[in-house]
Amino acid sequence: MSESKKFTRREVLIAGAALPAILPLATPAAGPMAAPSDSSVTLQVNGETHRLSLDSRATLLDTLRERLGLFGTKKGCDHGQCGACTVHADDRRVLSCLMLAKQAEGKRIVTIEGIGGNNGRLHPVQQAFLDHDALQCGYCTPGQIMSAIACIRENHVGSAGEIREYMSGNLCRCGAYAGIVAAIQQATA
């Protein structure tokens, strides 16, 4: 039976330092990675049509913020976990960080900038958030309001518990949840 050789810690460290010389770094087999292709996308956002040339991997969130200057829609986690990026697509709420801009083509997209009335008039849900102090830092608020509008439109307002359940995908680090539920109840009424 062969006895396996024992290495000291010093020998392992010395061997490790020599590895790059022994094993040359792998070179890419197929040359540089292909550049992402641009595609042309037509988006309808807040009633306006935009024709854009975009990286085909661009999310709706990044496109709204970086190409259309609609900074009201916030990037929190960028992974579908916080709700800060909520917008409406054909009257359904969606997480714009999880939707490619290309997927939004042909849909009516509405962001927080698009819900108010003429001359700066607030949407009733916006007014209710103010009336109930349903925000502190305000970072989550555009997403909360877009979800709140969908909550009322889809009639998930039978009780405070039902509202909380529907709104559970919208996180608020400031803990303004009690005011948010009260605001939704006021706007519903």
Considering only 135, 148, 163, 184, the residue that binds ligand FES (CB under 6 A) is 135
Query: Closest by alpha carbon to 96, among 64, 55, 67?
Result: 64
Task: Please enumerate in sequence order all residues whose Cβ is within 8 A of that of 113, keeping only pairs 6 or more positions apart, or say none.
Answer: 46, 70, 72
User: Of 80 and 116, which has the nearer Cβ to ligand FES?
Assistant: 80
Q: Residue 19 and residue 15: Cα distance in Å, rounded?
A: 6
Q: How far is the CB of 113 from ligand FES (least distance, A)?
A: 17
Sign of CA dihedral 153, 158, 164, 168: negative
Q: Which stretch binds ligand FES (CB under 6 A): 25-33, 40-48, 118-126, 169-177?
A: 169-177
The correct pick among 41, 54, 60, 97 for binding ligand FES (CB under 6 A) is 97
Q: Do residues 115 and 152 touch, judged by C-beta distance below 8 A?
A: no
Which amino acid makes up residue 42? Answer: T
83 lies in the binding site for ligand FES (CB under 6 A): yes
For ligand FES, which residue of 39, 46, 72, 76 counts as binding (CB under 6 A)?
A: 76
Residues that bind ligand FES (CB under 6 A): 75-78, 80-85, 95, 97, 135-141, 172-174, 176
